[in-house]
Amino acid sequence: MTTGMRTRNSRREELAAFLRSRRERIRPEDVGLPPGLRRRTPGLRREEVAQLAGVGVTWYTWLEQGRPINASVQVLDAVARTLRLDAAEREHLYRLADLPEIADPAGDGEGLDAEVHTILRQLDPLPACVYNGRYDLLAWNAAYGTLFASVAEQPRLERNVLWRVFTLPACCCPLVNKDEELPQMVATLRAAFGRHLGDLAWTGFVARLSAASPEFARMWAMHEVARPGVRVKMFKHSSVGLIRLTSTSMALAAPPETRVVVYTPMDEQSRQRIDWLAAHPEVAHCALHGTPARG
């Protein structure tokens, strides 16, 4: 047996043991199931995990038995939610399932101090959020969610600003001044990438985005670097039109490489348009794009 085969076998054995341990710690009543009277082992049964995660019982059984089966990101994410895994446990799950390129997916603000969430709420009506070094959106306030719904409403693993602005059709990119801003964002990413050389989660992200966007690949190949800072950003929202903002980045102590970004209106018209969006949350689902709008 080769070293690679032994490593894969060890990883599958560890995955099987990890899933069993996570399943056994959850009480049926915690997930809305009756406790039952004939449970020989603690926690949930395999078929209950499969049902709650929306996957086949046989498939989940094989996964927990350490058999060599393929697991997609979406299915593993459903299993992780069912087993109530935190950010560290999800990362461990993905690595054991041999999906290291997404082993540190964008979270839902896990790992951020409670005070950071309080600050975001207090900053309303100014849009504010928390990004990591890869531009994953980790947390945001109501104003940000209304203004940038096309990012905030994405599934967790797709909640990345760079991915959104580079994969939208050219006609529909929300950034009006993208010729200035996109190179700056890529340069900021490149500077952060230097701290993650050999990290498969980062190299996998760059490879996927390069394949999806020739424009990103061209900018990435230029090797420009920059730090986050105060920037002028102009967005066109389908419901209110042009909004001019100044973005200000402030580094957080933890988690590493996270920052609060606050968007301040540059003029009274932009402020009024943000206020209008806040007063009409029913339009929050509208994507940001370049079509004609009111006002």
Question: What digits encode the pLDDT tens for the residues 258-268?
Answer: 999 999 999 99
Mean pLDDT of 166-184: 85
Are the C-beta atoms of 266 and 245 separated by less than 8 Å? Answer: yes
Mean pLDDT of 275-282: 82
What pairs with residue 261 in β-bridges?
129, 249
Mean pLDDT of 78-84: 89
What pairs with residue 251 in β-bridges?
259
**Report for 34-43, 73-82, 97-106, 139-148: range of highest mean pLDDT:** 139-148
Helix residue ranges per DSSP H, 109-199: 114-123, 142-147, 149-152, 161-167, 178-193
278, HSE (Cβ side, Cα atoms, 13 Å):
14
Choice among 146-150, 169-173, 200-204, 289-293 with the minimum mean pLDDT: 289-293
Q: Are strands 241-251 and 259-265 parallel, antiparallel or unpaired?
A: antiparallel
The confidence band for 170, taking pLDDT boundaries of 50, 70 and 90, is confident
Instruction: Tell me the pTM.
Output: 0.66
Q: Evaluate if residue 283 carries a pLDDT over 80.
A: no
Q: What is the pLDDT of residue 86?
A: 79
Q: What is the pLDDT of residue 1?
A: 55
